[in-house]
Structure 1
């Protein structure tokens, strides 16, 4: 039985895929039963061919393909819906998240007893360009002030959470940036853990600072509206 599904959304990341997959395998092999689920979000480079080769070579590797670019949130959602594991770990496909941190997140989850808990990565020493770091820091402050999700780095791609809880989140584009707030809205717990952060391996980012800011403003107020409409109660059946 698969315990953990590692979901990785990718868009034109052909040169980063093989090394990251090997790192995931190195981090998890022999520790727990896992699978790797890559979601190709309409890539126009060699990403489909690279994923096809890995599907042939690795028994616990799966690849999903969007017929057109639909965004990172849609790719994460597709991967989680198709996953076989009860727990999901997400990673960005550019290699900046370190798969070696997944066992740390898994151990923290077990220490907390599992349940409705999200373990969120916290990039305490980011390796991005200065403009991206400043934009993210400002966005985090605004988000925390408005949503009070008490998460210092909601934009970090490495997270661990229960599949069943995720599938209860209301879906909207770009909601991958608000998973912590959505988990807390459902009565769950969010714990941030410092993780390693690395320079991008190859290629270039698919999103700029302006892009993030423009789509983030309406989303931020939308999530705040969801919070005001009331939280979701936890349900316990009498034994």
Structure 2
């Protein structure tokens, strides 16, 4: 069964009761007829997120639920899900429901199209008409402009949680907390190509964001220096041949 799975969807969550179950049903509806699995990774929620998803497992056979024993952050939850994934292609969505699962097939098709560059490792979503408040959009715009100028990764929206990528490519990336916001730059560092596609963005259904504007901006600026250092130390071998 594992060998027949072609697409794994990984969803990191923390305190998303009221959003998680509806999102799982949406993913199932969008991917109906495909060979897929969806892996929800609960990052030690304090609400009913786990119970909400566990109750859906009889209804949604493609649903897998993993739970961290300690809170470790969104990047670690994504990595946990990708490591557990059984497909060669992985998609990610934020657990708050603001990413639209209907965009997953479009991203998947762009990554796997017959004329795609052989080095293409990821297609990332770029949110249009963001459904966030003014302060959040402003903080995100400032961080994105600084990051894009420093890293030259071509990403106008590094905070978008919806992406589709090759599992092998992701597992080559260096891991650190918040690395999910720098995946385009990290993919380029490993010699992969990255493309972007405009995607939908929606209002949060329930609860509130797990991030503050100032906290997110401060973390991005600190991590930016680290990613700049990583890129400056990269040396690519151009491939390897068995002799």
Normalised to the residue count of structure 1, the TM-score between the two structures is 0.95
Is the contact made by 1:5 and 1:36 (CA closer than 8 Å) also made in structure 2?
yes
Q: Does 1:77 align with 2:73?
A: no
Q: Does 1:213 align with 2:217?
A: yes
Give the RMSD, CA atoms, in angstroms: 1.5
Structure 1 segments unaligned to the other structure (5+ residues): none
Q: Does 1:7 align with 2:10?
A: yes
User: Where do residues 37-52 of structure 1 align in structure 2 (5 Å cutoff)?
Assistant: 37-52=39-54
Q: Does 1:193 align with 2:178?
A: no
Aligned equivalents of 2:5 and 2:242: distance in 1? Answer: 29
Alpha-carbon displacement from aligned partner over 1:147-194 (angstroms, at most 9, x marks no partner): 111111111000000111111111111101001100000110111100
Alpha-carbon displacement from aligned partner over 1:33-64 (angstroms, at most 9, x marks no partner): 10000000000100111121122332211000
Q: Does 1:170 align with 2:195?
A: no
Structure 2 segments unaligned to the other structure (5+ residues): none
Specify whether residues 167 and 127 from structure 1 end up closer, same or farther in structure 2 by C-alpha distance, changes over 3 A only.
Answer: same
Normalised to the residue count of structure 2, the TM-score between the two structures is 0.94
Alpha-carbon displacement from aligned partner over 1:190-238 (angstroms, at most 9, x marks no partner): 1110000001011100101011012112210000001101243441548
Counterpart in the other structure of 1:159: 163
182, 186, 196: which one aligns with 1:182: 186
The total of aligned residue pairs comes to 238
Aligned equivalents of 2:89 and 2:219: distance in 1? Answer: 29
Counterpart in the other structure of 1:110: 112
- The SS at the match of 1:70 is coil
Q: Does 1:54 align with 2:50?
A: no
Is the contact made by 1:7 and 1:88 (CA closer than 8 Å) also made in structure 2?
yes
Is the contact made by 1:187 and 1:233 (CA closer than 8 Å) also made in structure 2?
no
Is the contact made by 1:186 and 1:233 (CA closer than 8 Å) also made in structure 2?
no
Question: What's the CA shift for 1:130?
Answer: 0.6
Aligned equivalents of 2:60 and 2:29: distance in 1? Answer: 13
Is the contact made by 2:5 and 2:87 (CA closer than 8 Å) also made in structure 1?
yes
Aligned equivalents of 2:222 and 2:47: distance in 1? Answer: 31
Question: What's the CA shift for 1:65?
Answer: 0.3
User: Where do residues 84-95 of structure 1 align in structure 2 (5 Å cutoff)?
Assistant: 84-95=86-97
Counterpart in the other structure of 1:147: 151
